Amino acid sequence: MIELTYATGNVSKIESAKLIYEPMGIKIIPVKIDDLLEIQADNHEEVAIYSSKLAFEKIGKMVLKNDGGIIIPKLNGFPGVYTSYVEDTLGTKGILDLMKDYDSDEDRYAYFVECLALTEEDGSTKVFKCITEGYLAKEESGDNGWGLDKIFIPKGETKTLANFEDEKRYSFWGQEGYIELGNYLLEKYKDK
């Protein structure tokens, strides 16, 4: 079995990764690195690469690190890399206030991007991306998940993510980057 060290303290990220990787024969080894500096950059890919390389320097073995956030095209991509900060300061109600003049689902279109950065034993880093499309609700709804789950409605659904239990909620998240990464690991490391 291939072991993949995942540098995160986020239990939801760990559980989500396990749901994808364990059936593929990849064991997730979570590790929390408390003093891992996160740079401020213009895009999630830069942040993920920097964090993954820094995590690799600290633990000295192949490691996965990710960065992601919500992109709202009508707000010129805001909050993007500032998603966590915006959630802590403006909150979901503040985001909804910014969107109050937009009524159609098309105008309220939003997507989450997640960049998975894998730094390998030789220090090289590869990035795999996941996209989860949907739109913003007009009001908060649901009790599950975290803040933005209360206002994000996944493509093809009529309720926010917060209206679904964890396993169902995880199924809405874009997994293409995780699967691509898993296949890469299986191809490269299966016989090692």
How would residue 2 be classed by pLDDT, with cut points 50, 70 and 90?
very high
The stretches of the chain forming alpha helices (DSSP H) are 11-21, 44-59, 83-89, 91-98, 166-172, 176-189
> Out of 67, 103, 149, 166, which one is annotated catalytic?
67
Q: What is the mean pLDDT of residues 107-125?
A: 97
Predicted confidence at residue 72, as pLDDT, reads: 98
CB 76 within 8 A of CB 16: no
Nearest to 16 by CA among 150, 83, 138, 112: 112
pLDDT tens for 11-41 read: 888 988 998 999 999 999 999 998 877 788 8
The answer, yes or no, to whether the previous bond of 79 is cis (omega within 30 of 0) is yes
Q: What distance in Å separates the CA atoms of residue 143 and residue 125, rounded to the nearest whole number?
A: 37
Q: Is 67 a catalytic residue?
A: yes
Q: What percent of the chain has pLDDT over 70?
A: 99
Smallest CA-to-CA distance from 123 within 61, 58, 66 is with 61
Q: How far apart are CA 66 and CA 47, in angstroms?
A: 8
> 125 has which bridge partners?
119
Q: What CATH number has the domain spanning 2-189? A: 3.90.950.10
Using CB atoms within 10 A of its CB, is residue 100 exposed (0-12), middle (13-18) or buried (19+)? exposed
Q: Mean pLDDT for the chain? A: 94
**CA atoms of 94 and 86, how far apart (whole Å):** 8
Task: Please give the average per-residue pLDDT across 28-57, as a whole number.
Answer: 91
Q: Which residue has the higher pLDDT, 12 or 67?
A: 67
- What is the per-residue pLDDT for 176? 96
Q: Assess contact for 31 and 5: CB atoms under 8 A.
A: yes
Domain boundaries, the chain: 2-189
Type of residue at 182: G
Token pair recorded at residue 133: 């499309």
Query: What pLDDT was estimated at residue 41?
Result: 86
What's the rounded mean pLDDT across residues 44-60? 95
| Average pLDDT, integer, range 63-82 | 96
Helix axes 176-189, 11-21, angle to 10 degrees: 60
The secondary structure element, H or E, covering residue 64 is strand 63-72
Residue 192: pLDDT band with limits 50, 70, 90: low
pLDDT value at residue 165: 93
- 22: DSSP letter: G
Letter for the amino acid at 185? L
